[in-house]
Amino acid sequence: MQKTKSERILGRRKAEAERPPVSPRVAEQDRLAGEAGTQVDAEARRGRGATSNAAGRFEPAARILFDDGWQNLDDLPPFRTEVTEEHARTVITRNQSPDIGFDRSINPYRGCEHGCIYCFARPTHAYQGLSAGLDFETRLFVKPDAPELLARELSQPRYQPRTIALGTNTDPYQPIERRYEVTRRILQVLSDFGHPVGIVTKSALVARDIDILGPMAERGLAKVAISITTLDPQLARVMEPRAAAPHRRLATIRALVDAGIPTAVLTAPLIPALNDNEIERILDSASHMGATEAGYVTLRLPLEIADLFKEWLVAHFPDKARHVMALVRQMHGGKDYDSTFGKRGKGDGPYAWTIGRRFEIAARRLGLTGRSVKLTTAHFRRPTQPGKQLDLFD
Rounded to 10°, the helix 321-330/305-316 angle is 150
Residue 167 has what pLDDT? Answer: 85
386 pLDDT tier (thresholds 50, 70, 90): low
Q: Locate the DSSP E strands across the chain.
A: 82-85, 92-94, 104-106, 109-110, 139-142, 164-166, 197-201, 222-227, 263-270, 293-298
Residue type, 197: V
On the question of pLDDT at 31 being above 50, the answer is: yes
Q: What are phi and psi of 9, to 5 degrees?
A: -65, -45
Could you give the maximum distance between any two Cα atoms of the chain, in Å? Answer: 105
* 109-131: burial string, b at 16+ Cβ within 10 Å, e else: bbbbbbbbbbbbbbbbbbebebb
What pTM was estimated for this model as a whole?
0.84
Q: What are phi and psi of 235, to 5 degrees?
A: -65, -40
373 pLDDT tier (thresholds 50, 70, 90): confident
The span from the CA of 344 to the CA of 355, in Å, is: 14
pLDDT per residue as tens digits for the range 240-261? 999 999 999 999 999 999 999 9
Residue 98 has what pLDDT? Answer: 79
Q: Among candidates 354, 358, 333, which has minimal Cα distance to 344? A: 333
42 vs 21, higher pLDDT = 42
Q: Is the peptide bond before 269 cis (omega within 30 degrees of 0)?
A: yes
- 269 contacts 118 by C-beta, under 8 angstroms: yes
Instruction: Collect all residues with Cβ–Cβ distance below 8 Å to 209 and sequence separation of at least 6.
Output: 183, 184, 187
Burial of 237: CB neighbours in 10 Å, binned 0-12, 13-18, 19+: middle
| Three-class secondary structure of residue 163 per DSSP | coil
Q: Among candidates 231, 206, 354, 346, which has minimal Cα distance to 283? A: 231
Residue 32 has what pLDDT? Answer: 56
How far apart are the two ends of the chain, measured CA to CA in Å?
A: 101
On the question of pLDDT at 331 being above 50, the answer is: yes
Instruction: Collect all residues with Cβ–Cβ distance below 8 Å to 351 and sequence separation of at least 6.
Output: 272, 327, 330, 331
DSSP readout, 199-246? Answer: EEES-GGGGGGHHHHHHHHHTT-EEEEEE---S-HHHHHHHSTTSPPH
CATH superfamily of 82-366: Aldolase class I (3.20.20.70)
Mean pLDDT, the chain, rounded, equals 86
339 pLDDT tier (thresholds 50, 70, 90): confident
21 pLDDT tier (thresholds 50, 70, 90): low
| Three-class secondary structure of residue 198 per DSSP | strand
Q: Locate the DSSP E strands across 250-370.
A: 263-270, 293-298
The CA–CA distances, whole Å, from 330 to 28, 306, 326, 349 equal 17, 15, 6, 7
Percent residues over pLDDT 70 in the chain:
81
Residue 18 has what pLDDT? Answer: 56
pLDDT per residue as tens digits for the range 36-92? 456 777 666 777 878 777 777 766 665 655 554 545 545 556 778 899 999 888 999
